[in-house]
Amino acid sequence: MNNKLLRINLTTKQVSREEIPESVVYDYMGGTGYITYYLYKELEPGIDPLSPENKVIIAPGPIQGTKIPVSGRYAIGTKSPLTGLYLDSNAGGFLGPEMRFAGVDLIIVEGKSAKPVYISIKDDKVVIKDAKDLWGKFVYETEVLVKELEREPKMRILSIGPAGENLVKFACTASDNFRNAGRGGLGAVFGSKNLKAVAFKGSNRPSNGDPTSIEQVRKDIVKRAKNAKDDGHLLHKHGTSWLVKVSSDLDHYPTRNWQSGEFEDIDKLSHKEFDEKYKRIRRPCYQCPIGCSETLDASVFDWVEEDRKE
């Protein structure tokens, strides 16, 4: 790891780079560890989560961007506007590795911009840019527009939609279109800072540890994943839809806004139903041999257009 902390103040528009102390690296190494350390170190007790005093911390883990499988998740944390307590979340996809490719191990965003902005990070170049024309857009549109503005079709974008802009206290942040860091209202904290998105593009691969050892670990994990007969095998075969019935059987499937944890018609949503009826497209995260994430081919559905009155 580079042990580099990138601090971005949206109030002053100041960008600075700091060394992560060696003691912190060894005691807290990992995305969630860094988030925990810096939130407790830097936030004053009793602050309003939607005030400029709150901070957002984005942290890829130490093996992000390497060839080690199942390492594609990044962590993101803040003080939750929903609970008023510590919050960390995470998401998969490709954003975390791209952060490492850009030479970033940890980002702390603080303050509040006077107007909507997004942050562009391309290797050593960090620029806070106007996001007036992005405000009000959904995350799908935002990703397309930022890539066009930056002329970087392979850029990785972390953004919010209208829910975050309007400070909905359970709003998510999203990356790679549908990779959501859920729970607790991270999107609302972005919105409170007038921060629409953070975009990453890097050109350098991290040089963690001994390449020979890492390659051996990679081979071992891939071999175990291919030969697995447990949960990893089922996730690879059926995707996350396999977990739907399991969740309901454990009374943990969110039904009618958590009025119940069990859905009476759960078999209609089971992986067997999906396997039989729908064509699925596998969307694996970075360096993941399991590939549990899937999308459905929408062409098989009958779509009905609905006129909406304002």
Q: How far is residue 266's CA from residue 244's CA, in Å, rounded to a whole number?
A: 8
User: What is 4-201's CATH topology?
Assistant: Aldehyde Ferredoxin Oxidoreductase;  A, domain 1 (3.60.9)
* 272 or 247, greater pLDDT: 247
Query: Mean pLDDT across the chain, nearest whole number?
Result: 90
The full set of domain ranges for the chain reads: 4-201, 211-297
Average pLDDT over residues 22-49: 94
What average pLDDT does the segment 53-76 reach?
90
Which pLDDT score, from 0 to 100, does residue 273 have?
81
Pick the more confident residue, 244 or 169: 169
Q: Taking CA 176 as the corner, what is the angle to CA 175 and CA 179, rounded to the nearest 5 degrees?
A: 60
pLDDT at residue 214, rounded to an integer: 83
308 pLDDT above the threshold of 60 = no
203 against 292, higher pLDDT: 203
The percent of residues above 90 in pLDDT, for the chain, comes to 60
Mean pLDDT, range 26-39, rounded to an integer? 93
pLDDT at 227 over 80: no
CA angle 87, 254, 302 (to 5 degrees): 115
Q: What is the pLDDT of residue 307?
A: 63
Q: Is the pLDDT of residue 144 over 80?
A: yes
Confidence of residue 306 (pLDDT cuts 50, 70, 90): low
309: pLDDT strictly greater than 60: no
